[in-house]
Structure 1
Amino acid sequence: MSILEVRPAGERALLIELSDLDSVLALNGTLLDHPLPGQVEVLPAARTVQLSFNTPEQARAAMHLAADIELGESAASSGRLIEIPVHYDGADLAAVAELTGLSIEAVIDAHCAQQWTAAFGGFAPGFAYLAAENDTLQVPRRDTPRTAVPAGSVALAGNYSAVYPRESPGGWQLLGHTELRMWDSHRENPALIAPRDIVRFRAVPARATLSEQTTAQPSTPLGNGASAAHGPGLRILDAGVQSLLQDEGRAHLGHLGVPRSGAADLTALHQANRLVGNHPARAAIENLTGRLAVQAQGDMVLALAGADVCAEITPAEHDELRHPRPAPLNAPFALLDGERLRLSPGAAGLRSYLSIRGGFAVEAELGSCSSDTLSGLGPAPLRSGDFLPVNPVRSGHIVGAPEPSTLPLPEAEGHYLLRITPGPRADWFDTSGMTRLTDQDWVVSSDSNRVGVRLSTTDEGLPLERTRSGELQSEGVPLGALQVPPNGLPVLFLADHPVTGGYPVIATVREADVALAAQLPPGTHVRFTLDSSGTLNPATR
């Protein structure tokens, strides 16, 4: 058991590469019991552990400390023992028998006879990769993934087993199903299985259908209709293409498969809250493409930041004295009882943030009011008719003065510049690969979303080419990661990106520039530039 290399993964994270899964489990246990200075999260994966820190300085100091950690015995057995009853009625049970050369009964026996170690989380909240004791049931993923695997499905892939916590696409071989709920954010420990737990499966002879216990919980609904609203707040008249509640997100839950989420442009969120006198982390409405209409119930103060939208206030229906007026951007403004604020697309930017003095009074999930489009956690996307109540305004709640726009400006050549640091998997590309990444323009694709900005080439550009074949085993990926799939077209991970991925990350965009990237609409030209100011040097033993 040993540490092979410590690689930088952006400004505040390290990726520690190890020789085997036992080393991963041992290091994970050591770092949880004896954290390094400034350590905020440990994310184990198949052959790596990703460490994140509060500051770049702490990450830099940890580079050599991590390389010198002495691994003891594997901490695989330090967790709880979890028993999972399974109805072995899966669609791929016969295929697994054929792949392993066993009978169906022998496959079931082999699955139940051994203990499985929860090595790491990922893919979805509550999804745990369970490592086998032996390779009896080692099988490949399906050639064609299913578009929907039911919640509670028990499955195999490689030398791992897992239980799908919610309905989702997937390519694992299905053995059966369980009625246990794998994820419930209202429990003290939301994930039924956590890293280092030991799992044993038990066959349940009677066939049963998936109960409501295993179905995924929907996003938290918001007040809808007249019955929901009696105090001050905002009524959603038109939610536009996508309007979500977003704050700073859910930190330090990556080991359970929970993305951080939060505002795609944190700089704009903080500005919007600052302008109305809120704490910077308060939830605001994140609106995509600038189409939104709301109506005030009670007098309130709002602010708009982010995209350069057109904003107009129309008077209440009973108010014959006032006339429509423009609402300012990047400055606080009043919206009186019954007045309506309507946004329409403007000249620049993609996402606008609407904050309200006092903040929206909505229920948090796992410590955040953010709507996570990948995992389904948090409030549901806003719909027409929803009502958002507002917290009472405390004494001395002072609004801010107007501020300059936080929107990025293009370079003289017309492209936007994003600063990057190499790695953690730059060694999957030769020097010409990094040169190609930085010396040509890339174009923001229309397939982009809150998970990531998908990039394509210009007519003169070329995709990136790997110097290694095959795929990585799943490992942690930081915010701003430039992950490169086999087609050579990078994907820049934004707020809702998965916590682990299996494609090499050639470079990581500086955190300050991730907010910039979130404001770039499809068709925008982007260029990357190496920034060595925050680069961490790899360390080996």
Structure 2
Amino acid sequence: MRFLPINLNSFLIELKDLNETLRLFDMLNELSSKEITLIIPAMKTLLISFNKDLTTKEELIKKIASLDLSKSFLKKQDSKKDLVTIPITYDGEDLEEVARLCKLSVKEVIKRHSSSEYRVAFCGFTPGFAYLSGGDKVLKVPRRKSPRISIKRGSIALADNFCGIYPTNSPGGWQIIGSTTLSMWDLSKNPSALLLPGLRVRFVDASTLDSALDSKTRCDETILSYDMMQIDKLDKAIEITKMLLPATIQDLGRKGQEKQGVSSAGALDRASFISANKILGNEENAPCIEIALGGFSFKSLADIKIAITGATLPITIKRDGVEIRAKSYKVLKIHSGDEVILGMASHGVRAYIGVFGGFKVKKILGSASSDTLANINPLLIKVKTKLFIDDNASKLTHTHIKKPSLLPKVGDIVVLDIVLGPRTNWFSYQTVSDFLTQEWLVTPKSNRIGIRLLADKLIKSKFEDELPSEGTLNGAIQIPHDGQPVLFLADHPITGGYPVIANVANYHLDLAAQIPIGAKIRFNVIADFDEIRVK
């Protein structure tokens, strides 16, 4: 085993192969240790997060290093119920490129792919995205040099030694060879993922099938909404009247769904989110609205109390034709018929609108949070949407929260503390120096998935080899082939195949989420890269 740093309460375990990785994963799950809060398996690694109140990094690593991995974890699974057959249409835009890379004809690529049997090794990247191993070794191709911004759900692609099926529309860098109408991810089912670790998979050319698939198996999006909830006509509510940019419902995120490839998502600026609820006397996890950059308005359909936190923006209450200026980080009493108007943010990006009692939202996988990468929308917000208030939620004592110092604005240079690793050694000394000494511009391509950065000197790996996919966390700074870093935020993929040069310190994640487009970031090292030795 090799132990590599990630951040202040996480590390990466590098192992010999997939078999050894899954064996250790199984053993750690059997231990049911309260010290370990998260395990993300991948091809040759396990990402471990731990509770610093219960153990130290050194103690936990010593405990894990003492485990015996000599026994094989993988078991034979030959029953028909363990086999999933996937119909495929070989119409992928990279099919000819794959044939060229493999020095085969397109016909031979199709023959080899459809005659192979795969096994689900692990899930990640996006919810329901299964990494399928064990296919024809000749069909080993690199990822694209520059990932696509959006790949259509149902696309079937190759990268490294894996095959994968995109369960939702998402970014991606794999080589697309075909597509399927079979749904990989269905929130109305339990489990939601069709493919789970251990299952066997075969692909069948759809052109050879006699009949179409049942419509229930097709790639339709499942959106849970108020239609699936019990709403009392007397419930208090607000109605959205203006929205310049997408707004989402958030809580503190969903936990324990990593085996299906689901990240926690949740409020990007957790401190501001919690402040809104504490000011109102709500439970700290009560659902709030998260907006970006302002330009958001709503009309109250009842007498309610609200609090607005996070980004600095003008707040106006329009009551009986009179405009009243209001302050953030205060309990605001809103009358029925009032319109609350939020202007554009001067500092920061994300603002939170909390309401006394919290919003009534149907939870998905244990959380009210929207996940933009996974396309999980417990409540889709748009103009004229009515958001109902949970009057039955438990109430606590109102807490006075002091408004924090000004957040970053356009043109500012923001310093973020980082821990180097786990793949800093994939870059030359000069490249790491360029990464640390440059000021990185936040570009308009940034969103809840990640902050996309740009500077004069691009960051290139010194290795031509592909990195086997491995776990990532909120705050990971990943370097794709184009050399432009991506700083992952809450809706990030669970696993990724580009090297992570560093991770933002946990205490600066809220600040990172508030850095606007047009500001710049400079990284400050608080822990150098070094393999963690077992003492």
Normalising by structure 2, we get a TM-score of 0.87
CA distance 1:149–1:264, change in 2 (3 Å): closer
**Counterparts of 2:23 and 2:178, CA distance in 1:** 30
Match of 1:426 among 424, 441, 445: 424
Whole-Å Cα distance in 1 between the matches of residues 328 and 457 of structure 2? 39
The one-letter code matched in structure 2 to 1:265 is D
Stretch of structure 1 that moved more, 87-96 or 63-72? 87-96
The SS at the match of 2:129 is: strand
Contact 2:23 2:73 in 1 (8 A): yes
Query: Displacement of 1:201 after TM fit?
Result: 4.9
Q: Distance in 2 between matches of 1:383 and 1:116?
A: 42
Q: Which region of structure 1 is more displaced relative to structure 2, 44-53 or 263-272?
A: 44-53
User: Which residue in 2 is equivalent to 1:390?
Assistant: 389
Partner deviation per Cα, 1:87-130 (whole Å, 9 max, x = no partner)? 3532259857885758959955x556654221111232111111
Specify every segment of 5 or more residues in structure 1 that has no aligned partner in the other structure, as ranges.
318-322
* CA spacing shift, 1:65–1:535, aligned 2, 3 Å: farther
Report the Cα distance in structure 1 between the residues aligned to 2:26 and 2:474, rounded to whole angstroms: 24
**Structure 2 match to 1:240:** 244
Percent identity over paired residues: 30
Separation in 2 of the partners of 1:223 and 1:133? Answer: 43
How many angstroms does 1:430 deviate by?
3.5
Deviation string for 1:440-466 (max 9, x for gaps)? Answer: 322222221111112222xxx533343
1:330/1:402 contact within 8 Å kept: yes
- Contact 1:85–1:178 (Cα < 8 Å) also in 2: no
CA shift for structure 1 position 512: 1.7
Structure 2 residue 59 is the aligned partner of structure 1 residue 66: no
Partner secondary structure for residue 454 of structure 1: strand
Q: Give the secondary structure class of the aligned counterpart of 1:77.
A: coil
Cα distance in structure 1, aligned partners of 2:354 and 2:226:
17
Q: How far apart, in 1, do the equivalents of 2:83 and 2:262 lie?
A: 23
Q: CA deviation at 1:262?
A: 0.8
Instruction: Using the TM superposition, give the Cα deviation of residue 407 of structure 1 relative to its aligned residue in structure 2, in angstroms.
Output: 4.6
Q: Give the conservation status (yes or no) of the 8 Å contact 2:347–2:408.
A: no
Are residues 285 and 130 of structure 1, via their aligned partners in 2, closer, same or farther at CA, if it must alter by over 3 Å?
same
Greater Cα shift, 195-204 or 282-291? 195-204
User: 1:389-443 CA deviation, whole Å, 9 max, x = no partner?
Assistant: 0011567643222522265469xx9522211111111112234444333333222
Match of 1:259 among 254, 259, 263: 263
Please give the secondary structure, in 2, of the residue aligned with 1:304: strand
Question: What are the equivalent positions in structure 2 for 1:186-201 lying under 5 Å apart?
Answer: 186-201=188-203
- Quote the residue 1:320 is aligned against: none
Q: Does 1:497 align with 2:501?
A: no
How far apart are the structure 2 equivalents of 1:156 and 1:197?
Answer: 18
Distance in 2 of aligned mates of 1:535 and 1:140: 27
Structure 1 stretch displaced more, 308-317 or 270-279: 308-317
Residue in 1 that maps onto 2:524: 529
Residues 1:465 and 1:165: Cα distance change in structure 2 (over 3 Å): closer
Over 3 Å counting, the alpha-carbon distance change for 1:299 and 1:66 in structure 2 is same
Judge conservation of contact 1:85–1:203 (CA < 8 Å) in 2.
no
Could you tell me which of 294, 297, 312 is aligned with 2:298?
Answer: 294
* Residues 364 and 399 of structure 1: CA distance in aligned 2, closer, same or farther (over 3 Å): same
Quick one: distance in 1 between partners of 2:273 and 2:392?
19
Does structure 1 retain, via aligned residues, the 8 Å contact 2:312–2:407?
A: no
Contact map agreement 1:27 1:71 (CA 8 A) in 2: yes
* Equivalent of 1:177 in 180, 204, 215: 180
The 1:106–1:240 alpha-carbon spacing in structure 2 relative to 1, beyond 3 Å, is: closer
Matched to 1:241, the amino acid is L
SS in structure 1 at match of 2:387: strand
Deviation at 1:71, TM superposition (A): 1.1
Tell me if structure 2 keeps the 8 A contact 1:10–1:478.
Answer: no
1:40-62 deviations in Å (ceiling 9; x for gaps): 22212122121222337444432
- Matches of 2:407 and 2:486, distance apart in 1: 20
**Matched residues in 2 for 1:286 and 1:103: separation?**
47
Match of residue 39, structure 1, among 36, 40, 52: 36
2:398 partner SS: coil
Verify the 8 A CA contact 1:314 1:325 in the aligned structure 2.
yes
- Single out whichever of 508-517 and 85-94 deviates more from structure 2: 85-94
* Counterpart-to-counterpart distance in 1, 2:370 and 2:224: 9
Post-superposition offset of 1:223? 7.2
User: Matched residues in 2 for 1:61 and 1:189: separation?
Assistant: 35
Is residue 307 from structure 1 mapped to residue 311 from structure 2 by the alignment? yes
Residue matched to 2:84: 84
Coordinate RMSD, CA, aligned: 3.4
Q: Secondary structure at the match of 2:238?
A: strand
Change (3 A) 1:165 1:292: same
Q: Is the 1:153–1:177 Cα contact (8 Å) retained in structure 2? A: yes
Contact persistence 1:247–1:370 (CA under 8 A) = yes
Match for residue 399 of structure 1?
398
Given residue 488 of structure 1, which amino acid in structure 2 is its aligned partner?
G
> Which of 514-523 and 488-497 deviates more?
488-497
Q: Check the 8 A contact 2:135/2:162 in 1, yes or no.
A: no
Cα distance change, pair 466–282 in 1 and its aligned pair in 2 (3 A): same
1:461-491 Cα offsets, whole Å, 9 max, x none, are 5333433334312111111011122343322
467-476 or 268-277: bigger deviation: 467-476
Do structure 1's residue 273 and structure 2's residue 277 form an aligned pair? yes
Q: Do the aligned partners of 1:42 and 1:255 also contact (CA within 8 Å) in 2?
A: no
Matched residue, 1:365: 364
Q: Which runs of 5+ in 2 are unaligned?
A: none
Question: Residue 184 and residue 415 in structure 1: after superposition, are their counterparts in 2 closer, same or farther (change >3 A)?
Answer: same
2:13 alignment partner, SS class: strand
Q: Find the aligned partners of 1:144 and 1:535 in 2 and give their Cα distance.
A: 27
Q: Distance in 1 between matches of 2:394 and 2:181?
A: 52
3-state SS of paired residue (1:291): strand
> What is the 5 A alignment of 1:374-523?
374-392=373-391, 397-405=396-404, 407-408=406-407, 415-457=413-455, 462-523=457-518
Question: Aligned partners of 1:191 and 1:488: how far apart in 2?
Answer: 33
Deviations 1:104-162 (A, max 9, x none): 59955x55665422111123211111111652554566799888765445554443233
Q: In the alignment, which residue of structure 1 is the partner of 2:124?
A: 122
Aligned length: 523
Question: 2:163 matched to which residue of 1?
Answer: 161
Letter in 1 for 2:375: G
**DSSP-derived class of the 2:247 partner:** strand
What is the letter of the counterpart of residue 60 of structure 2?
A
- Rounded to whole Å, the distance in 1 between the matches of 2:518 and 2:146 is 32
Distance 1:386 1:229 in 2: 15
Question: Which residue identity is paired with 1:276?
Answer: L
Residues 1:539 and 2:529 are matched in the alignment? no
The answer on whether the counterparts of 1:22 and 1:74 sit within 8 Å (CA) in structure 2 is: yes
